[in-house]
Chain A
Amino acid sequence: MQMFFEIKNLRVRYEGAEVVKGVSLHLEEGEIVTLIGSNGAGKTTILRAVSGLKAPSAGEIWFEGTRVDGRNAQSIVKLGIVQVPQGRGLFPYMSVAENLKLGAFLRKDRRAVQKDLADVLVHFPRLKERARQQASTLSGGEQQMLAIAAAVMCRPRLLLLDEPSMGLSPLMVSEIGKIVREINATGTTVLLVEQNSRLALKLATRAYVLETGNIVVEGAADELMHSEHVRKAYLGE
Chain B
Amino acid sequence: MSETKRGRTVAKAAAVVVLVVVVFLMPNILSGNKYWLTILTLLAINVLLVSSLRSVILINEISLGHVGFALIGAYAQALLMMKGGLTFWPSLILSGLLAAAVASLLGHPFLKVRGIYFSILTLLTAETFRLVVYYWTGLTGGSLGLVGVPSPEPVTLFGRTVEFNTVNTYYYLAVGVVVIALLILYHFERAYINFQWRAIRDDSMLAGALGINVVGFKMVNFTISAFMAGISGGLFAAFQHNLSPDTTSRFGVTMSIYLLVYMVVGGQTRFIGPLIGTAVLTLVAEATRSIAEYQPMVTGSIAILVMIFLPMGLAGIPAQIQTWLRKRRLRSAEAPVGGGTER
Chain A positions near chain B (C-beta within 8 angstroms): 51, 53, 73-74, 77-78, 83, 85, 89-94, 98, 101-103, 105-106, 154
Contact = CB atoms under 8 A, between A and B. Distances in A.
A115 to B, nearest CB: 20
A131 B23 CA distance: 42
A202 B322 CA distance: 51
A90 B199 CA distance: 9
A31 B195 CA distance: 35
B210 A77 contact: yes
Contact of A91 (B198, B208, B211, B213): B198
A91 B212 CA distance: 13
A53 B203 contact: no
A94 B202 contact: yes
A214 to B, nearest CB: 27
Given A91-B203, A93-B202, A94-B202, A102 B210 contact: yes
Interface of B: 195, 198-199, 201-203, 206-213
B192 to A, nearest CB: 11
Contacts of B209: 51, 53, 73-74, 77, 83, 85, 89
25 contacts: A51-B209, A53-B209, A73-B208, A73-B209, A74-B209, A74-B211, A74-B213, A78-B211, A83-B209, A89-B203, A89-B206, A89-B209, A91-B202, A91-B203, A92-B203, A94-B202, A102-B195, A102-B207, A102-B210, A102-B212, A103-B210, A105-B210, A105-B211, A105-B212, A106-B210
Given A93-B198, A94-B198, A74 B208 contact: yes
A83 B205 CA distance: 13
Contacts of B199: 91, 94, 102
A89 B202 CA distance: 11
Contacts of B201: 93
Contacts of A77: 209-211
Nearest to B203: A91
A235 to B, nearest CB: 33
A89 B203 CA distance: 9
A206 B198 CA distance: 40
From B195, B198, B199, B209, residue with most partner A Cβ within 10 Å? B209
A98 B208 contact: no
Nearest to A136: B202
Contacts of B206: 85, 89-91
Given A92-B202, A105-B212, 4 more contacts: A51-B209, A77-B211, A85-B209, A90-B206
A94 B211 CA distance: 17
B247 to A, nearest CB: 39
Nearest to B214: A74
B210 to A, nearest CB: 5
Contacts of A93: 198, 201-202
From B199, B209, B210, residue with most partner A Cβ within 10 Å? B210
Contacts of B212: 102, 105
B48 to A, nearest CB: 27
Contacts of A92: 202-203
B201 to A, nearest CB: 8
A138 to B, nearest CB: 14
A121 B227 CA distance: 42
Contacts of A154: 210
Contacts of A51: 209
Ranked 6 nearest A-B pairs via Cβ:
A106-B211, A91-B202, A89-B206, A73-B209, A77-B211, A74-B211
A94 to B, nearest CB: 6
B217 to A, nearest CB: 11
A92 B213 CA distance: 20
B176 to A, nearest CB: 35
Contacts of A85: 206, 209
B237 to A, nearest CB: 39
Nearest to B202: A91
Nearest to A53: B209
A98 B206 CA distance: 14
Contacts of A102: 195, 199, 207, 210, 212
Nearest to B206: A89
Nearest to A153: B210
A106 B213 CA distance: 10
A109 to B, nearest CB: 14
A68 to B, nearest CB: 14
Nearest to A76: B209
Contacts of B198: 91, 93-94, 98
Nearest to B212: A105
A133 to B, nearest CB: 15
A51 B208 CA distance: 12
Contacts of A89: 203, 206, 209
Nearest to B210: A105
B207 to A, nearest CB: 7
Nearest to B211: A106
A174 to B, nearest CB: 27
A1 to B, nearest CB: 31
A117 to B, nearest CB: 15
Nearest to B198: A94
